[in-house]
Amino acid sequence: MRIGVFDSGLGGLTVVQAMTQVIKGAQIFYVADTKNAPYGEKTPEQILQYSLNITKYLVKTHQIDALILACNTATSSAIQHLRETYPSLIIIGTEPGIKPAIEQTRTGKIGVLATPATLQGDKYQTLAQTLSSQKSVDIFEQACPGLVEQIEKGEMDSDVTKGLLEKWLAPMRQNNVDTIVLGCTHYPLVGQSIEKIMACNVSLIHTAEAISKHLLTLGTQKGHLNEGDLQVHIHTTGEIHMHVVESLIGAYENIYFIDVENN
Ligand code: DGL
């Protein structure tokens, strides 16, 4: 199985990391669109165009069988269009795990951290309204502008990053939130800081493992045997910080620079 995975930057590698635990005998072609990051502060039209450019590149150059949108923001703006354009591809997106959060919470108060574009998108609004009407919970939503840039720079533990998180998490701490949805694939990289700031038993919800298992199920239905080595090839459209890559998937040598706008 040839699997294309993309994100605005390195955050989607948190999904690749989970995939390496589940998927075997496949090739992963990862695209970090760092030239256009952060997606979360762009318009839905821009995010759709970036997603279409990358998918076209992955289909043409790497003949992928499956596409993983390892980005909540791109899923919100582009997944429907991509499914219509590429009906024969397995296409799996990433959505904030509100459902598991609602199932797990004991205080009935959950937090959602995501990019501005994800929280404003119809997809998230519909999901949150539908699920919160089924069980009475209070949802504390927080957009986190600037956080993706900090993470891309490798500044997971800097004072600036911690200051941003403290400000955003204060209302959640004061209101007894016990479950926080990480609605952006970059945010698991600051998961430990979030746990420390919440200073209590908070559960962090991310969906990378569920995505990987879903891919295995759909791949198996199409004849994927899941045996043998897994290879990961990383491509980027701009600057990338190697130590962030290595902290996620271990020592890594070849990063390919690509231009997906002219393919
Ligand atoms: N990892 C992307 C997501 O899950 C980050 C979006 C961004 O670049 O702002 O939404």
What gap in Å lies between CA 22 and CA 258, rounded to an integer?
A: 28
pTM greater than 0.75 (yes/no):
yes
Looking up tokens 């962090």, which residue turns up? 204
Amino acid in position 189: L
Contact of 59 with 89, CB cutoff 8 Å: yes
- 187 and 216 together in one domain: no
- 46 and 19 together in one domain: yes
- 39 and 120 together in one domain: no
Instruction: Look at residue 6 and tell me if it is in a domain.
Output: yes
Nearest by Cα to 211 from 37, 3, 8, 27: 3
179 forms beta bridges with: 110, 203
Instruction: Look at residue 263 and tell me if it is in a domain.
Output: no
Domain boundary among the residues 186, 205, 224 is at: 205
Contact of 73 with 118, CB cutoff 8 Å: yes
- Name the closest-CA residue to atom 8, ligand 1: 38
What gap in Å lies between CA 173 and CA 221, rounded to an integer?
A: 44
Instruction: Look at residue 223 and tell me if it is in a domain.
Output: yes
Contact of 255 with 242, CB cutoff 8 Å: yes
What gap in Å lies between CA 40 and CA 44, rounded to an integer?
A: 9
Q: Which of 16, 17, 39, 189 to mutate to test the pocket of ligand 1 (most atoms within 8 A of CB)?
A: 39
Amino acid in position 11: G
Assign residue 13 the CATH number of its domain. Answer: 3.40.50.1860
Instruction: Look at residue 147 and tell me if it is in a domain.
Output: yes
Per-residue pLDDT of the chain (263 residues; tens, 9 = 90+): 999 999 999 999 999 999 999 999 999 999 999 999 999 999 999 999 999 999 999 999 999 999 999 999 999 999 999 999 999 999 999 999 999 999 999 999 999 999 999 999 999 999 999 998 888 899 999 999 999 999 999 999 999 999 999 999 999 999 999 999 999 999 999 999 999 999 878 999 999 999 999 999 999 999 999 999 999 999 999 999 888 898 888 877 789 999 999 87
Backbone angles phi, psi at 162, to 5 degrees: -65, -40
Ligand 1 within 6 A of 188 CB?
no
Ligand 1 within 6 A of 70 CB?
no
Instruction: Look at residue 119 and tell me if it is in a domain.
Output: yes
Backbone angles phi, psi at 170, to 5 degrees: -55, -50
Domain that holds residue 6: 2-94+208-257
- 68 and 121 together in one domain: no
- 13 and 139 together in one domain: no
Q: Which of 184, 187, 190, 237 to mutate to test the pocket of ligand 1 (most atoms within 8 A of CB)?
A: 184
- 12 and 80 together in one domain: yes
What gap in Å lies between CA 239 and CA 45, rounded to an integer?
A: 23
203 forms beta bridges with: 179
Nearest by Cα to 54 from 116, 115, 9: 9
- 69 and 162 together in one domain: no
> What's the pLDDT score for residue 199?
86
- 176 and 227 together in one domain: no
- How far, in Å, from the CA of 107 to the mean position of ligand 1? 28
Instruction: Look at residue 174 and tell me if it is in a domain.
Output: yes
- 136 and 196 together in one domain: yes
